[in-house]
Amino acid sequence: MERANDPMFNEIINACASKRIKKLMGFRNDWNKEIIAQFYATVYFGYIDGERAMFWMTEGTLYRITYPRFARVFGFGQNDANCPKLHLQSPLPVEEMKFMYPRGQVHNAGKVAGLYTYYSILNRLLRKTITPRGGNPADISLHARNFLATLRPGGPDFCVGDFIWEEIKYISKNPLKICGYAPYLMIMIEKVTKTKYGTDARHERLRPSVPKQRVMPSPHRYSENEDEIETEEGGAYQQT
């Protein structure tokens, strides 16, 4: 994506870098399906000496990790911990998502359909990385809305480590749960258990297609009330 040197791609990359998620977005790590399934089948959350903690079983042995150590595994320190936590907010109402859509598509707010190309690409990237979701792929659901909204130009900062922690917690309690965050969890489990496991699930590169006709807000204007919509010809890209 960086090699394309495309202005819109560069804007997406810069937005991810500014929110400290660029490395996670490009992270690739194969995983062991059984190990991840065991994790989600047994994980529960509590506290150790006043710190949030995660407990789970791997091959019959109980393991645990506190939130500070969890954050460090993924490279997040105190600066990240001091940022606002998205899960302390309610999921973003659809009315507050309208800036992500051209004027003629605001009725789709909360849906994948009709997004400006910038947000459409970001949503596809996030859904495969930091905001994995089961259920209806046509919807942008729950706190994934808040996450996507922070990536608007000038969007607020937030605690990335806490977001991932709370999403793992949500997935573990959801009756329609998916084994999300498998590549990241595999790293965490191997560090805590001090064991290297064989892998049988391949973490593929992301190759989201880009419409030939890109729909973007006028330069530096991200408002549902904008006067005009710019379009330009674009092509598909491959993340390398």
- Does residue 240 lie within any of the structural domains? no
- Does residue 239 lie within any of the structural domains? no
The encoded tokens of residue 3 equal 């090699």
- Does residue 238 lie within any of the structural domains? no
What does the mean pLDDT of the chain come to? 85
pTM: 0.84
The encoded tokens of residue 127 equal 């859904």
- Does residue 23 lie within any of the structural domains? yes
3-state secondary structure of 120: helix
pLDDT in tens, 196-231: 999 998 887 766 666 677 887 655 444 444 433 344
pLDDT in tens, 11-48: 889 999 999 999 888 888 899 999 999 999 999 999 99
Percentages helix, strand, coil for the chain (3-state, rounded to 5) are: 40, 15, 45
Phi, psi of 225 (to 5 degrees): -100, 10
Q: Which of 180, 182, 233, 237 is nearest to 207 (CA)?
A: 237
Tokens 């598509």, located at residue: 105
Structural domain count of the chain: 1
Domain that holds residue 139: 2-233
CA dist., res. 159 & res. 169, Å (int):
16
pLDDT in tens, 95-108: 999 999 998 999 99
Tokens 């965490």, located at residue: 188
- pLDDT in the model for residue 207: 66
- Does residue 61 lie within any of the structural domains? yes
